[in-house]
Structure 1
Amino acid sequence: MPFLLNQCGSLLYYLTLASTDLTLAVPICNSLAIVFTLIVGKVLGEDIGGKRAVAGMVLTVAGITLCIASSVNKPHGQPSTL
């Protein structure tokens, strides 16, 4: 089951890279991988680092939100400034 889930994640990663702007897709995929790793580790009962890890996840999600918001608000065809 973990292998199948991992392969589904890889497939989603490649589909995302093929269909979106690379300057947006790569940072989002890489940072969300860290967030999901910490969440799954917590669900499995691992020590994820306490308040500092949670603060890091919140900052990561805030950064992803800023990237998406800046991408949505720019006109189509305008180069990204990331």
Structure 2
Amino acid sequence: MARTIIFSSIGSCKYLMPFLLNQCGSLLYYLTLASTDLTLAVPICNSLAIIFTLIVGKALGEDIGGKRAVAGMVLTITGISLCITSSVSKT
């Protein structure tokens, strides 16, 4: 009985689509880490993970925290921009 439930949920589109999207994101993360400077890639990937989580949460109708969350996203994007700008100017 339990095996039937597990195997039927794996074949379900409701399970399979988010799983595949998550795996694509993980692949992109590792490709980014392999091809760029770690001092730049790790902070950007970790910061963007928070941003994407908030954006997807809002798209799904969750309460993301109002003005403070938006201010946090703006500060995060500003920090990422500063990191990218400083690394580009070095090269």
> Does the pair score TM above 0.5?
yes
Distance in 2 separating the partners of 1:7 and 1:72: 29
Gaps of 5+ in 2: 1-16
Higher Cα Rg: structure 1 or 2? 2
The structure with the greater share of residues assigned to helix is 2
TM-score by length of 1: 0.90
Q: How far off its partner does 1:72 sit?
A: 0.2
Regions of 4+ moved over 6 Å: none
Report the 3-state secondary structure (helix = DSSP H, G, I; strand = E; otherwise coil) of the residue aligned with 1:18. Answer: helix
Q: How far off its partner does 1:70 sit?
A: 0.2
Report the 3-state secondary structure (helix = DSSP H, G, I; strand = E; otherwise coil) of the residue aligned with 1:45. Answer: coil
Q: How far off its partner does 1:11 sit?
A: 0.1
Distance in 1 separating the partners of 2:21 and 2:47: 18
Distance in 2 separating the partners of 1:66 and 1:7: 29
Superposed CA offset, 1:11-34 (max 9, x none): 000000000000000000000000
In structure 1, which of residues 9, 13, 35 is the aligned counterpart of residue 29 of structure 2? 13
Superposed CA offset, 1:14-62 (max 9, x none): 0000000000000000000000000000000000000000000000000
Aligned to 1:79: none
TM-score by length of 2: 0.81
Gaps of 5+ in 1: 75-82
User: How big is the alpha-carbon RMSD for the aligned residues of Structure 1 and Structure 2?
Assistant: 0.3
